[in-house]
């Protein structure tokens, strides 16, 4: 294998596939990046066996030559060293050549690196996925849907299925649901090119977080292909494979209350900042818990109290406050996570009593919902 490549394109692609590479793997060859060159261009692959990422660098793009391939072939190079080397090369172009015994020379200007490579034949094959049944989601919408749900997955392995996000495609709509059993986040969006297929899968939260980091912010469609145990996201020059979590995701629909006894409308930012302040003195005590009480004339009071340090109390004017009086305690962290995930300047909170889960939504928008279980403090 021998090719000359624009360094900036190589650095970008290496950065992308590195997101899948971990040094904590039991399969030594996965600490490497696979590089293959053919007549179309150069392909890089990184994998930790849960996530696999393939980035393609075409021979030319928009009339500019990016790669010149002199000899096709492949090699696997230690990811940690290769990624640092390409970042620090002195010139705009890089020559990469595999010599005898997998010895690989990386040349740029007067700098010459010799790296011991590994046999690309020994690199695991990526899953073969039939591409017939793809559906498409615009990149920016996909990233938003991930951001609005993935924070709510469980970080505990007690119930592994809860470390993933439940994706359902049904009636031309994609819904994403995550819960750690203390709070739940849900976001729905209609599919523009519904192909009539129905899916119900659970994607590891970590995979979605890494996917979000790699995708550019644009409105180009990402093709999504789902099989029994894999999901493939296809963006421009990029393939992102993730394994799926096995098992049945709990039915969360019955958790979401249909009625409400106290309804609040609040300015999102003002409410978020008041919660943030109250949490400062709640951090040490009972698991970061703050209290919300309705007062009168639409005023609510946010407070917390850690006797050994001090207490804080703040009044917030709601835009509307209907129904029963209420005193309720909840995790400030869960509330802040939920408020940050919502879009819109005003939110609507539906309470059904101090011991029941409550629902936060943007005003006049049913596509997203955040649910939080209160904390018993009396």
Q: Is 141 left (phi over 0), alpha (psi -120 to 50) or beta?
A: alpha
Residue in 21, 37, 115, 373 binding its own copies, rule: CB under 8 A: 115
Q: What is residue 144's three-state secondary structure?
A: helix
Please, what is the minimum distance in Å from the beta carbon of residue 119 to its own copies? 16
* Beta-ladder partners of 329: 291
Dihedral (C-alpha) 269, 274, 276, 279: value to the nearest 10 degrees? -160
Q: Return the half-sphere exposure (C-beta side, CA atoms, 13 A cut-off) of residue 117.
A: 28
**Quick check: 280 binds its own copies (CB under 8 A)?**
yes
Q: Which distant-in-sequence residues (6+ apart) come within 8 Å of 141 by Cβ?
A: 189, 219
Please, what is the minimum distance in Å from the beta carbon of residue 377 to its own copies? 19
Q: Which is nearer to its own copies, 90 or 344 (CB)?
A: 90
Q: Which is nearer to its own copies, 75 or 137 (CB)?
A: 75
Separation of alpha carbons 378 and 376, rounded Å: 6
Q: What is the CA radius of gyration of the chain?
A: 25
Residue in 159, 236, 311, 327 binding its own copies, rule: CB under 8 A: 311
**Quick check: 313 binds its own copies (CB under 8 A)?**
yes
Residue in 259, 308, 364, 376 binding its own copies, rule: CB under 8 A: 308
Residue in 124, 172, 310, 344 binding its own copies, rule: CB under 8 A: 310
Separation of alpha carbons 65 and 92, rounded Å: 13
Give the pairing of strands 346-351 and 299-306: unpaired
Q: Which is nearer to its own copies, 140 or 314 (CB)?
A: 314
Q: What is residue 244's three-state secondary structure?
A: coil
Residue in 24, 110, 254, 364 binding its own copies, rule: CB under 8 A: 110
Of the ranges 2-10, 57-65, 235-243, 272-280, which one interacts with its own copies (CB under 8 A)? 272-280
Residue whose entry in the numeric block shows the structure tokens 């000359």: 4
**Quick check: 281 binds its own copies (CB under 8 A)?**
yes
Please, what is the minimum distance in Å from the beta carbon of residue 120 to its own copies? 17
**Quick check: 332 binds its own copies (CB under 8 A)?**
no
Q: Which is nearer to its own copies, 251 or 296 (CB)?
A: 296
Q: Which is nearer to its own copies, 40 or 84 (CB)?
A: 84
Separation of alpha carbons 239 and 237, rounded Å: 7
Residue 340 structure tokens: 């940050």
Q: Are 318 and 264 in contact (CB under 8 A)?
A: yes
Q: Which is nearer to its own copies, 148 or 321 (CB)?
A: 321
Q: Which is nearer to its own copies, 112 or 220 (CB)?
A: 112
Residue 201 structure tokens: 């899968």
Residue in 25, 116, 171, 181 binding its own copies, rule: CB under 8 A: 116
In the complex, the residues that contact its own copies under the rule CB under 8 A are 78, 81, 84-85, 88-90, 104, 110-116, 273-274, 276-277, 280-281, 308-316
């Amino acid at each position: 294998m021998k090719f000359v490549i624009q360094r900036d394109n190589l650095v970008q692609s290496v950065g992308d596939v590195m997101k899948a590479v971990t040094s904590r793997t039991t399969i030594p060859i996965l600490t490497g990046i696979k590089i293959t060159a053919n007549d179309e261009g150069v392909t890089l692959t990184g994998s930790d066996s849960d996530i696999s990422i393939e980035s393609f660098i075409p021979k030319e793009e928009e009339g500019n030559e990016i790669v010149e391939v002199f000899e096709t072939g492949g090699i696997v190079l230690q990811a940690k060293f290769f990624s640092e080397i390409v970042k620090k090369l002195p010139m705009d172009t890089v020559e990469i050549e595999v010599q005898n015994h997998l010895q690989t020379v990386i040349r740029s200007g007067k700098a010459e690196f010799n790296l011991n490579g590994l046999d690309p034949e020994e690199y695991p094959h990526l899953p073969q996925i039939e591409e017939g049944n793809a559906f498409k989601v615009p990149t920016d919408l996909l990233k938003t849907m991930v951001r609005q749900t993935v924070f709510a997955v469980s970080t505990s392995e007690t119930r592994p299925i809860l470390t993933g996000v439940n994706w359902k495609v049904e009636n031309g709509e994609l819904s994403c649901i995550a819960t750690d059993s203390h709070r739940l986040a849900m976001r729905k969006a209609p599919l523009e090119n519904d192909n009539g297929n129905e899916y119900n899968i659970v994607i590891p939260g970590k995979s979605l977080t890494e996917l979000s980091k790699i995708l550019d912010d644009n409105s180009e469609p990402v093709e999504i292909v789902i099989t029994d145990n894999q999901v493939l996201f296809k963006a421009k020059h990029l393939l992102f494979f993730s394994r799926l979590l096995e098992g049945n995701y709990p039915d969360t629909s019955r958790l979401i209350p249909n009625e409400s006894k106290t309804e609040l409308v609040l300015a999102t930012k003002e409410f978020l900042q008041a919660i943030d302040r109250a949490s400062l003195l709640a951090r040490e005590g009972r698991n970061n818990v703050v209290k919300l009480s309705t007062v009168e004339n639409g005023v609510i009071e946010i407070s917390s109290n850690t006797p050994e340090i001090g207490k804080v109390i703040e009044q917030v004017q709601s835009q509307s406050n209907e129904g029963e009086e209420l005193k309720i305690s909840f995790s400030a962290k869960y509330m802040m996570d939920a408020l940050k995930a919502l879009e819109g300047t005003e939110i609507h909170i539906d309470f059904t009593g101090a011991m029941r889960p409550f629902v936060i939504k943007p005003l006049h928008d049913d596509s997203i919902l955040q649910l939080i279980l209160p904390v018993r403090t009396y």
